[in-house]
Amino acid sequence: MPELPEVEIVKQSLIKNVKSQKILNVIVRNRNLRFRIPNNFKSILKKKKIVNIKRFSKYIIIELSNKIYCILHLGMSGTLHIVKQKNKNLITNSSFYHSPFLPKKHNHVEIIFKKLRLIYNDPRRFGYFKILNNPLKLKNFINNYAIEPFNRKFNYNYIKGKLHDKKKNIKNYLLDQKFVSGIGNIYASEILFESKINPKKKSCDLSEIELRDIVKYSKIVLNNSIKKGGSSIRNFVNTSGDLGSFQKYFKVYEREGKNCPKIYCDGEIKRIIISNRSTFYCANCQK
């Protein structure tokens, strides 16, 4: 599932390719995504100019010329493919998951511009489009979720106030979008490793240093992943020719049985299941 850094990379690719472009046509081949695409979806987007493209958490926010916003969530398996008319480059995927080429099946939505097509592909159909017809509705939509790790308000006082009396383990809280938006399973394991915190530890038992480290390393780990192009689990480049390489820098994720990368630690990376999600950590240095 694409996490915050991967969605950020998609956003940057869309800005480069379709910002300020006019939508000439929209083809909806399958409305039955996680939420059904509305019948007027085509008429809302057609002939509109894309004013800006932003990201909040794992959501892509496409601002149209009439202050209407098209929200896209990629779900478990959604990808956006950019197909240019006069480009022989067959690599179309703007993100780093699944096939780098445009698949033949599950191309549910096609947005057509003058020199390219933007195609949404989603085999599992957990992604969705949502139309918000004014800035207030966009604000209310965002306010349904917690702040992002990059928000200045995501600080020691914020997480201390949220977690000081909570008995749920810290790994689950990092995945809770009502606590912090955008951290997924991969990065939760990496953040806790850098913070030297056992993922099973009760949130109310975290020390001041541990809480401060969560804030610090949430920002560092996510920012490092964005700089490295996201995590390309299957190793291929996106439409800009960039390879998502953060997976080369995983300290614990999918490293079960390997030695802890910290030079002073002789521990081994363990894999456990927390709330049906694989969790990786070093039991020796994560207490």
Residue numbers annotated as active site = 2-3, 58, 277
Helix (H/G/I), strand (E/B), else coil: 247: helix
Q: What are 113's two structure tokens?
A: 């511009």
C-alpha 20/C-alpha 108 separation (Å) is 24
83-87, long-range: CB within 8 Å, 24+ apart, which pairs? Answer: 83/116, 83/117, 83/118, 83/119, 84/115, 84/116, 85/115, 85/116, 86/115
Burial class from Cβ neighbours inside 10 Å (0-12, 13-18, 19+) for residue 20 reads exposed
Q: What is the dihedral of CA 246, 189, 284, 261, to 10 degrees?
A: 0
CB 84 within 8 A of CB 18: no
Longest CA span, the chain: 61
Q: CB 221: neighbour CB atoms within 10 A?
A: 26
Helix (H/G/I), strand (E/B), else coil: 157: helix
Q: Name 192's Cβ contacts closer than 8 Å, sequence gap at least 6.
A: 170, 171, 174, 198, 199, 214, 281, 286
C-alpha 16/C-alpha 190 separation (Å) is 30
Q: What are 122's two structure tokens?
A: 């989603």
